[in-house]
A = this chain, B = another copy of it.
Amino acid sequence: MTIGTGTVFHLRSPLASYHLGVKQDVHQLAAQRLRRISQRYTAGRRRIVEVLAAAGHPLTIPEIVGSDSDLATSSVYRNLVTLEHAGVATRIVTSQEHARFELSEPFNRHHHHLVCVDCGKVDDFILPKGVEESLDSALRRAAQKEGFAPTDHRLDLTGTCPDCQAAG
């Protein structure tokens, strides 16, 4: 498969961990984005990308560190800052506990989050295309009115996940 054909895989529901053609594409794109800011795609950074791609939902730093014994906590913190700055990883800020990370949009299809206020778990969901589009143009208009230069939007639905509903 050639690079950049954009064949969409759906490895799990509701979202694939990434929607680039093959795993190689993920690493090539990550390396390219790091090069753009004069950073190397080192083994440690590659392992983090690997773990995030395999998870398919946002992970905390302890989860990332725990899933690969070669990863040192301090380096994971430092490298996630670098990966975020390079546009490879995205930080998901929830009100409690640890921050969570997932691969950024070119690696992951555009989506939003269901955030459980009890256990902190985060799951992905997508909006219908029409809703997303009307939302997007409304946001552009709102930003323009305020002189705000938008880069991205975040939409979270907060509530209680099925597990916590059953528990409490």
Binding site for B on A (CB under 8 A): 14, 91, 93-95, 99, 114, 116-117, 123, 125-128, 130-131, 134-135, 138-139, 142-143, 145-162, 165
Contacts and interface: CB of A to CB of B under 8 A. Distances in A.
B155 A149 contact: no
Given A93-B93, A127-B142, A157 B150 contact: yes
Q: How many copies does the complex hold?
A: 2
Most buried by B among A94, A114, A130, A162: A114
Contact of A138 (B117, B131, B159): B131
A150 B143 contact: no
A49 B40 CA distance: 49
Nearest to A84: B95
Contacts of A149: 159-160, 165
Contact of A157 (B123, B125, B128, B142): B142
A162 B147 contact: yes
Contact of A160 (B126, B134, B151): B151
